[in-house]
Amino acid sequence: MLKDWLTSERIQIRTDITDWREAVEVSAEPLLKEGTITPDYLTAIFAQREKLGPYFVLAPGIAMPHARPEEGANGLGLSLLTLPPGVKFNSEDNDPVYTVVMLSAPDKHSHIELISELAELFSSDEDMQKIHQAKTIHEIQEVISRY
């Protein structure tokens, strides 16, 4: 199922990003472009970050920015950005971040299966390492096609 959500249009590899904020903005671009999220969604993510710190850095090397459905989520969506050199998100235990997965959910229930598949992927150190080191979008798609 992840391969259905993480199409080539929703996957980016960027080596030029050095700031966590820019990484979040760039990861949102595919979902903004297709209207899955609104600019308010990003505003909400940044506001929560100010209040709670880097709440969306889930594990070493992995960030999953998201906001509440009513804060600008028009639909269910995922995008993936890899940052081969790594970017500091000011998460003491989990920096640097190499993979940013932007999640959008229009309600509290529709994303449960998607989260489950992402959790499976995130728990595979071997597959996450392959994603972190991928040089092409096709290499990333090969990994996610197994989930």
Quick check: is 132 catalytic?
Answer: no
Query: Among 66, 111, 132, 138, which one carries the catalytic annotation?
Result: 66
Residues contacting residue 33 through CB under 8 Å, at least 6 positions apart: none
Which among 87, 81, 78 is positioned nearest to 27, based on CA atoms?
81
Looking up tokens 């096709």 gives 138
Tokens coding 12: 């980016």
Report how far Cα 38 is from the mean position of its chain's Cα atoms: 16
Residues contacting residue 80 through CB under 8 Å, at least 6 positions apart: 6, 10, 11, 12, 27, 99, 100, 101, 102, 131, 140, 144
Which residues participate in catalysis according to the annotation?
66
